[in-house]
Amino acid sequence: GVPGAGKSTSIDTFGMHLVKQGRRLAVLAIDPSSERSGGSILGDKTRMEQLSREKNAFIRPSPSAGSLGGVARKTRETIVLCEAAGFDTIFVETVGVGQSETAVHSMVDFFLLIQLAGTGDELQGIKRGIMEMADAIVINKADGDNIDKANLAATHFRNALHLFPPTESGWRPKVLTYSGFYGLGIKEIWDMVDEYRHFATDSGYFEEKRQRQTKWWMYESINEALKNSFYQSEAIRSLRPEVESDILSDRLSSFVGAQRLLDAYFKSLK
């Protein structure tokens, strides 16, 4: 969900719901803003007031800097660590902008999109790709005067989802309304997540997706390491400015330029 959608409030409420059931919860965040500003929208402990006082909840401050790829990989590694440490439920939080959703999608079992009721045109501005990834869309702040608007928004989303091709898992994404602040509709959302888990476990999709993610992360790590090795190598560092200027002044095509750098890199390895 975008900033202001109510992620912190919701995670606090959801988290308390789960901790009271005896679960051990870890909350991680992938925050693309940290790359640009060095600051962070997400991951601040004080945002989840009740949960941060629970001994069965671990809230990791969002990594403060690094590329999205690097931050995502660390988050993926932290998931594995948290599982080993006995956390049975892990939330990965991200703001609804940019590339981070794809990274999150590659490490979670269930993708929940938090939306707000707007002026009737709420479907605008939501990237289709993000909606396609969602296993459920939940409309927050369905309280007080906002209940009717939230229900209307839910109808819009349901209609829109009907036009989407069937999901890979065969699961039909659900749309629910709730209030994170007043704790309304929380149980229903968690029941739905459970329903998904049963559905996907029975069909074998749950395990299959996890295996695919495991494989994806191996190759992702390799790609990342190769890229770093390439760009950090002395040969590339010294040759790059020259080749770059050659392609910018049309003395070399992009492809020939690339080949020249790759040749220099491979030669430097020998």
Q: Minimal distance in Å, beta carbon 250 to ligand GDP?
A: 47
Of 115 and 213, nearer to ligand GDP (C-beta) is: 115
> Nearer Cβ to ligand GDP, position 127 or 227?
127
Task: Supply the minimum distance, in Å, between the C-beta of residue 186 and ligand GDP.
Answer: 10
Among 105, 108, 56, smallest CA distance to 79 is for 108
Residues 6+ apart with CB under 8 A from 98: 32, 68
Listed in sequence order, the DSSP H helices in the chain are: 7-19, 33-37, 68-84, 100-105, 128-133, 147-162, 186-203, 205-232, 234-248, 254-269
The smaller minimum CB distance to ligand GDP, of residues 3 and 61, is found at 3
Q: How far is the CB of 92 from ligand GDP (least distance, A)?
A: 14
Q: What's the closest the beta carbon of residue 159 comes to ligand GDP, in angstroms?
A: 24
Q: Applying CB under 6 A, which residues contact ligand GDP?
A: 1, 3-9, 140-141, 143, 179-181
For tokens 């600051």, the residue is 39
Beta carbon nearer to ligand GDP, 1 or 63: 1
Residues 92, 60 contacting (CB under 8 angstroms)? no
